[in-house]
Copies of this chain bind each other. A is one copy, B any other.
Amino acid sequence: MRKIDIFNHIFPKPFYDKMMEVAGQHKDIGKRVRNIPVLVDLDERFRVMDEFGDYVQVLSLASPPLEVIAEADRSPELARIANDGMAELCAKHPERFCGFTASLPMNNPDAALSEINRVVKDLGANGVQMFTNVNGKPLDAPEFQPLFDAMAQHDLPTWIHPARGANFADYLTEDRSEYEIWWTFGWPYETSAMMARLVFSGLFDRNP
**A200 and B179 form a contact (CB under 8 A):** yes
Q: Is the CB of B185 within 8 A of A197?
A: no
Q: Name the interface size band of chain A.
A: 20 to 34
Is A133 a contact of B189 with CB atoms below 8 Å?
no
State the number of copies, please: 2
Check: A203 CB closer than 8 A to any chain B CB: no
Beta-carbon contacts under 8 Å, A107-140 to B: 133, 135-138
A189 contacts across to B, CB distance below 8 A: 185-186, 189
User: In the complex, how many angstroms separate the beta carbon of A98 from the nearest chain B beta carbon?
Assistant: 34
Given contacts A167-B172, A179-B197, A181-B196, 13 further A-B contacts (CB under 8 A): A133-B171, A135-B173, A136-B171, A136-B172, A138-B171, A168-B172, A170-B193, A178-B200, A181-B192, A181-B197, A184-B196, A185-B189, A185-B192
